[in-house]
Amino acid sequence: MATRKRSGSGSKRHLKEKVVQIYESFFRGEDLTTDNVTFWDEFFLLKPKIPQLEAELNKLSGEQLMNMKESMNLLVGQCIEMLGQEHHIRLVYALQTLSALLITMYQRVGQDPTINIKSILIGQEDADGKMQRLFEHCSTILSGDVPDSLKSMVLKLLLVIATGMENIDDNALVEYFMQNSLFESLIQLLCTSTERQQHGYDVVMLLMFLVNYKKEESANPYVVKLSILDDELALNGYGQVITAALNDYVLSVFGGMQGGSGGGGWLSSLTSMVGGIFLTSDDTQPVVRGQRNSGGEEGMLLALYEAAHLNRNFMTTLAHSSSAAASSAPPSPPATLPPHQSPPNLSQIQALDNDQPTNLLVTFFQYCSIVMADTRTEASINKCSLCFITLTCIVEEQFANSIMHDQNLTFKVQLYRLPMRHRKIVPEEPSSQPLASTLIDLLVEFIMCHLLKKFPGDLYQLCIGVLLRLLSYQKRCRVRLARDWRPLWAALIALLKFLVANETALLRRHNIFIMAQQVCFLVDASCVLSVFNITAKIKLSG
């Protein structure tokens, strides 16, 4: 008896679930609706088995997929129809099935570019109608009073479509985003704090991808609508999502520094010195301690650039002050840090201090100070370049300049400083100053830290451009910026000396004469501004 039971239980383990049997029959080309007119209603009540579904799809060759396209069109069409139902179980299972089909097919296209994903999934007949219904259902769910989990699944589905191909311009399905705009439904999710906390990151990432679809070739409705968006709640929500993501990255880096600074004495000093030697070597990659491998903040950086570049109204968001406690998403809790690592010193990381007001500019400057410390790989150079281009967009705006030079709007901003052989990083609380002074400190740090044999001339050109625009605004508007100008002069003179000393090597790759001319102008302009400030102080004291 016992032996039979064991044998019976063993045989049950080999039985296939009903939904798996349906997958196998479906991909053999069998018509499952012939004897069951309610087949699809019953099918979407069965929990999908995603690994088995993907496995069945991957068994088919490219030719077999084309032969199966009518059945695939039917399956995708039924998934889309189920998205219009109020029955949440069918809706969820349809979303899961459709997402799995799309992910697997995009993977197949990556392996074999000759596969026509559009023809296989939605067909040629009524393709526009199917996709229109899909986006209408998605818009209804995103705008409706439904559970957050459903909205999250819809956003994940849309992200799967938008990111399916390595080059978004080659993705034929993204064209349907342009024909059926979801901009209003997506933006609405950024207007309330609860929905922003749940979906803000996915919304901003999706908008960032869509804005970059064939932006140079055709009229992209997402570019147009983002450029004219003037809803203050939506713009602030957009900015808060970016602030939270960049702030989390800043926390990870400064937290790693704090966690690694527990030791002291001669051994710590020796380790720091040796580390500095390797960090400033031309042939090694500098290590930013505490840096995560996740590249999620890179998408937020691109989203920030798009908003700053396209929308002048977004400049008001840069000055939208809030405390870290009011951030759209809470920072990572200490429990996420390694067990041996203590939480960061919040007195030194002002953006994480609940009593210290912050804004997007403060967080962005901190983020830039980390990114600009690394210019050794192509990826890091591209990220650093995007930071400088975004800074250029900001300093070209009159309103943003007025914010940064406002003497009544001061912040304590802790910038990351790269360990080097000739200096020792001493943790100290930064002084409260206008953001224009912080930006100058950031640019001075960059100028001083990358005078290497592998000179990043393009980045220096962008850096000098930001400085030129900043000082030109001060000179044009006669703005007095009370600061010590000597670090800037020292950095500019060091750059000039470096250009002169390495003229022969640098001329092969860079036009250093224009750069030297601009540096001389900056020295002259900063001296004039310094004298102007001293004269103003004398008049006030007199």
The pLDDT-based confidence of 51 (bands split at 50, 70, 90) is very high
**Is residue 78's pLDDT more than 80?**
yes
What is the reported pLDDT for 241?
95
Residue 358 has phi, psi (to 5 degrees) of -140, 170
| 423: exposed, middle or buried (Cβ count in 10 Å: 0-12, 13-18, 19+) | exposed
State mean pLDDT over 341-361: 52
Q: What is the mean pLDDT of residues 342-371?
A: 67
* Ranges of each domain in the chain: 17-196, 232-481
Contacts 24+ apart (CB under 8 A), 484-489: 485/526, 485/527, 485/529, 485/530, 487/441, 487/444, 488/440, 488/444, 488/522, 488/526, 489/523, 489/526, 489/527
What does 376-431 look like in DSSP terms, one character per residue?
Answer: SSHHHHHHHHHHHHHHHHHHT-HHHHHHHT-TT-EE--------BTTB-----PPP
pLDDT, one tens digit per residue, over 256-272 is 655 444 444 433 333 33
Is the pLDDT assigned to residue 478 strictly greater than 50? yes
pLDDT at 3: 46
Q: 30-34, 210-214, 440-444, 449-453: which range is least confident on average?
A: 30-34
pLDDT at res. 440: 96
The 8-class DSSP code of residue 168 comes to G
- The residue to which tokens 């296989």 are assigned: 120
Residue percentage of the chain with pLDDT more than 70: 79
Contacts of 488 (CB under 8 A, 6+ apart): 440, 444, 522, 526
**DSSP state letter for 358:** B
Measuring CA to CA, which residue among 475, 237, 247 is closest to residue 346? 247
Query: What average pLDDT does range 170-187 have in this prediction?
Result: 94
What's the pLDDT score for residue 217?
A: 76
What does the pLDDT look like over 361-418, one tens digit per residue?
999 999 999 999 988 899 999 999 999 999 999 999 999 999 999 998 889 999 988 7
291/259 Cα distance (integer angstroms): 12
Cα atoms in the 13 Å half-sphere on the side-chain side of 341 = 21
pLDDT band of residue 5 (cuts 50, 70, 90) is very low
pLDDT tens readout for residues 139-164: 999 999 999 999 999 999 999 999 99
Grade residue 346 by pLDDT with cuts at 50, 70 and 90: very low
pLDDT band at residue 340 using 50, 70 and 90 as cut-offs:
very low
pLDDT in tens, 88-112: 899 999 999 999 999 999 999 999 8
How much is the pLDDT for 423? 64
- Cα–Cα distance, 435 to 440 (Å, whole number): 9
- Calculate mean pLDDT across residues 453-471: 93
Interhelix angle 486-501/512-541, rounded to 10 degrees, is 160
The pLDDT score that the predictor gives to residue 322 is 58
Lowest mean pLDDT among 31-40, 268-277, 345-354: 268-277
pLDDT at 198: 94
Tens of pLDDT along 9-33?
Answer: 444 555 778 999 999 998 888 888 8
State phi, psi for 420 to the nearest 5 degrees.
Answer: -135, 165
Tell me the pLDDT band of 62, cut-offs 50, 70 and 90.
confident
